[in-house]
């Protein structure tokens, strides 16, 4: 299942609201593998077993899960927000 059509907007809003970590607050990708049905923190749609899932651990130890498109959008918008 692809990300939601409004994934970019959701990710920008979540970065602004602080519900997604900024790039400086993220420790980097800690896991990459096939999805297990968990909700993507970018677009709020489950990541299916045939999709790649990326897990990112924030410095406060929270884990965020993204599908490919959403992790790329998160990185792109996170860079635009500055270091």
Q: Which sequence spans correspond to the domains of the chain?
A: 7-80
The closest of 44, 39, 50, 35 to 14, measured between CA atoms, is: 44
Phi, psi of 82 (to 5 degrees): 100, 170
All residues at 6 or more sequence positions from 58 whose CB lies less than 8 Å from its CB, including other chains: 21, 25, 26, 27, 64
* Per-residue pLDDT reduced to its tens digit, 13-69: 999 999 999 888 887 778 899 999 999 999 999 999 999 999 999 888 899 999 999
Helices within 1-83 (DSSP H only): 7-17, 68-80
Q: pLDDT at residue 1 above 70? A: no
């Amino acid at each position: 299942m692809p990300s939601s059509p409004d994934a970019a907007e959701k990710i920008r809003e979540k970065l602004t609201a602080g519900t997604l970590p900024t790039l400086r607050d993220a420790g980097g990708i800690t896991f990459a593998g096939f999805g297990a049905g968990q909700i993507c923190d970018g677009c709020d749609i489950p990541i299916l077993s045939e999709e790649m899932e990326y897990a990112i651990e924030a410095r406060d130890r929270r884990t965020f899960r993204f599908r490919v498109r959403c992790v790329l959008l998160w990185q792109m918008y996170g860079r635009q927000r500055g270091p």
